[in-house]
Structure 1
Amino acid sequence: MKLWDKGGTPDEHMDRFTVGNDRELDQVLVGYDVMASRAHAEMLGKIGILDPGETRAILRELDRIAEEIRAESFPIEAPFEDMHSKIEYELTRRLGEAGKKIHTARSRNDQVLVALQLFLKDELVGFRDRIRTLFDLLMALAEEHRDILLPGYTHLQVAMPSSFGLWFSAYAETFIDDVHLLRAAYRVADQNPLGSAAGYGSSFPVDRAFTTARMGFETQKFNVVAAQMGRGKVERTTAMGLASVAGTLSRMAMDICLFMSQNFGFLSFPDSLTTGSSIMPHKKNPDLFELVRAKCNILQGLPNQLALLTTNLPSGYHRDLQLTKALLLPAIEDLKACLEITTTSLRSVRVNRNILDDPRYDYLFSVDALNALVQEGMPFREAYKEMASLIESGNFRPEKKVKHTHQGSLGNLCLQEIRLKMEAAWPPAIPG
């Protein structure tokens, strides 16, 4: 069944090419299409297109279809082009003439938009919650290991003292920036496009304020052309938020891969979270984090893929936009998996408490020694030259104690301030 079918028979190759994998992707979205169809049916009843009996019957069958979807017993088979045609077919099969009325005053264009935006709203809240779980774990690890020092690097050269408290909470605070972008994407998605029909509105007196409230949108995309132009834009905006999360995860995964190597030896994981070699029995490879790094690096290209797909499209609907789902939906699943495996693994992380016993890290303390000379009254440039001379002659003897007290430093991690910052970024009690 095709909603645009006028009675002819389309070319089989054309049909296969244009449908692509939409049926599989729509299995993810079909529950949201039912949700939107329910609000639409109530609205059609409100404005007199459906009589009360038809409205009740359609709502009853939509509820049954929703139960079948939850039970994974509502497949979108090959004869159907997409979720919209399957739902309309089922309503017509079950209800007869009343089922044929469900498409009144809407188009597949606003149908797919509203289903996708309802889906993205839920997914973005889910990402916020997954990040919050990882954030809380990182903050707990920062508190637990706050005083254990490790080397800080610039240019991959030994630089200054850092700590596991700094390292764990650095990534925790960086995730707050990602949450800001996810919340912005949520607000873009939180605008009801239903009622824009094919992109130019309808001669039916649809009540868009009613469906906006019924589906829980904060507002509607008022201009019907702007609503249709949201297709592609809401996906790109979401992709920017996902890519930001992926960038943070990828960088942390890279740190972990370095820190696990024998040359660093800063942290380790149980054998169950590493892999071996087919010929080297001593290997404990960080495959898990290498794959997180790789998947997240690919995800960082998602906004560009969507931008290239939608670049230079004029206003109105174009079939190009169908392909946004095939890019975005798998990316969402990949990022979920990366967040979940990272969180699970970090619960078992082991830190090396004696890293700085190695003399290769003695020079970490040269800056603190230089600063001590300045605090005693020596001009900075003279202190710098004196310290450089001590290092060059091999006479530098570090005092391996840190006296950093300013906000955000080794001795003042500001963990509570970071927690409050996350709370304010997107409070759990506020959807968007």
Structure 2
Amino acid sequence: MAQPLWSKTSEKSQTELQKNITDFMSGNDVLLDRELLIYDIQASQAHIEGLERIGVLTCEDTKKIVESLLELTEQFMSGSFELDQRFEDGHSAIEWYLTEQLGELGKKVHTGRSRNDQVSVATRLYCRDALSKLKKQSLVIADCCLELASKHELDVMPGYTHLQRAVVSSWGMWFASFAEAFCDNAHAANDTYHLINSNPLGTAAGYGVNLKLDREYTTQALGFNRMQINPIYAQNSRGKIELQVLGCFKNALLDTRRMAWDLSLFSTAEYNFVQVSDDFSTGSSIMPNKHNPDAVELIRAAYSQLTGAYNELESLLSLPSGYQRDLQNTKGALLRGVTSAQQCLELVPHLLQSLTINSEQCEAAIDASMFATDKAVELVIEDDMPFRDAYRHIKHNYQDLENRLGINSIEQRTSPGACGNLMLPEISERLEDLV
């Protein structure tokens, strides 16, 4: 490992115990920083340009450092520079590279900056991109659901409460429910993006520095909406920001979990309402007859995986004000949670488009009792019967409704949002407003 930036002894003079302690403290931090290095380099460039603006660096010095940072970016992206366990972390790697390339000039990059605000700003940039991707993925899923809701608008299916048959419903309504859910998820991602879009760079270790840093410049250069003003809060928000981001992904995966549960249930032989394509299914190593919706089940399980990352991160934050080394471990929870959630969400539109609806089986599952609510309302309107009397009358007298058709029931259910009035254009308009 290259000598840590904070080291008080040379690498050669370290005892075996000191090396073991350093390895323990670093953990896999440098490997996680592979996800953040590009953001760290971007923020380093803004920091260097800010130092020039207050006279700490000359224009020529800034040009040389920025050119080296761009070279580092190219080498990292091409694989010729590997961020590995030679380095304590990505921050150390950047300074090491600049010092190797530029000598004494490279050592100036950390003026007025701590690794604390360095990791905070890199993480903030990563979180912005993660939320932008979540918004995009949510809109794609919502659009896919809208398309399928229109296609299957009048395809009958049973509606359940308590997992018992309740009323006639439609696949159009089922798909439309998730279209609206993912509009909400896109909206939440957008709102959270603006909430976290503040610049912590320039707060150093949580107490500022004795330099008049041009934080307004770095805020603008990095595309932040505003400066995160208070240095103590900049430190205390570490982990809190990450929780906000994972919370958005949790909301989205809460919906995919329910969707996957429905599909797992409705694709069983006992229901047989829908068939999941072979692409999302596997077989059994011993039972030749099996057609298991494994991918659907893992989409369902993704919520639990993300909740584990969320809870791990949240439990770390029982800390006093100021930086504590515990906060290093927020990074792994964030990156694992975001990566697994993004992988899950990427599959959802493909899953939905691959479904085959078994319309005949859905219609066969409709029985006379599922028209009882419709009939009770009809008695109110047609016979001026109080609803509670109509309810009691129908409760034990719905057998004569067995000749009714499910399609008629859903067409007549015209309250706003119901099967006969899904209001798909309104959901579509909301989706367009979010793009």
User: In which range does the TM-score fall when normalised by the shorter chain?
Assistant: over 0.9
Contact 2:157 2:363 in 1 (8 A): no
- Aligned pairs for 1:80-91 (under 5 A) are 80-91=87-98
User: Partner amino acid for 2:415?
Assistant: H
- Aligned pairs for 1:14-413 (under 5 A) are 14-311=21-318, 313-358=319-364, 361-376=367-382, 377-391=384-398, 394-400=399-405, 401-402=408-409, 403-413=412-422
SS at match of 2:185: helix
Partner Cα separation in structure 2 for residue 98 and residue 359 of structure 1: 76
User: Partner amino acid for 1:367?
Assistant: T
Partner Cα separation in structure 2 for residue 272 and residue 208 of structure 1: 51
User: Partner amino acid for 1:317?
Assistant: Y
Partner Cα separation in structure 2 for residue 337 and residue 28 of structure 1: 15
Partner Cα separation in structure 1 for residue 128 and residue 95 of structure 2: 25
Contact 1:266 1:355 in 2 (8 A): yes
User: Partner amino acid for 1:343?
Assistant: P
User: Partner amino acid for 2:334?
Assistant: L
User: Partner amino acid for 2:47?
Assistant: H
Question: In structure 2, which of residues 424, 431, 434 is the aligned counterpart of residue 415 of structure 1?
Answer: 424
1:336-356 deviation digits (Å, cap 9, x = unpaired): 111112222222111122234
TM-score, length-scaled by structure 1: 0.94
1:221-262 deviation digits (Å, cap 9, x = unpaired): 011111111211111111111111111111111011011111
Cα 1:307–1:357 change in 2 (3 A) is: closer
User: Partner amino acid for 2:324?
Assistant: H
- % same residue: 40
User: Partner amino acid for 1:78?
Assistant: Q
- TM-fit CA distance, 1:46: 1.2
Partner Cα separation in structure 2 for residue 110 and residue 104 of structure 1: 12
Partner Cα separation in structure 2 for residue 233 and residue 351 of structure 1: 43
Partner Cα separation in structure 2 for residue 130 and residue 72 of structure 1: 28
- TM-fit CA distance, 1:117: 0.3
Partner Cα separation in structure 1 for residue 283 and residue 296 of structure 2: 14
- TM-fit CA distance, 1:383: 1.7
Q: Which moved more, 1:246-255 or 1:67-76?
A: 67-76
SS at match of 1:354: helix
**What count of residue pairs does the alignment treat as equivalent?**
423
- TM-fit CA distance, 1:359: 5.7
Alignment gaps of 5+ in structure 2: none
- TM-fit CA distance, 1:382: 2.3
Cα 1:324–1:174 change in 2 (3 A) is: same
User: Partner amino acid for 2:404?
Assistant: E
Cα 1:188–1:379 change in 2 (3 A) is: closer
Contact 2:157 2:366 in 1 (8 A): no
Cα 1:359–1:39 change in 2 (3 A) is: closer
CA RMSD of aligned residues (A): 1.5
Contact 1:246 1:297 in 2 (8 A): no
**Aligned residue for 1:4?**
6
TM-score, length-scaled by structure 2: 0.94
Contact 2:155 2:171 in 1 (8 A): yes
Contact 1:365 1:398 in 2 (8 A): no
Contact 1:247 1:300 in 2 (8 A): no
Alignment gaps of 5+ in structure 1: none
- TM-fit CA distance, 1:188: 3.1
Q: Which moved more, 1:198-207 or 1:2-11?
A: 2-11
Partner Cα separation in structure 1 for residue 145 and residue 124 of structure 2: 31
Contact 1:113 1:231 in 2 (8 A): yes
SS at match of 2:359: coil
User: Partner amino acid for 1:419?
Assistant: S
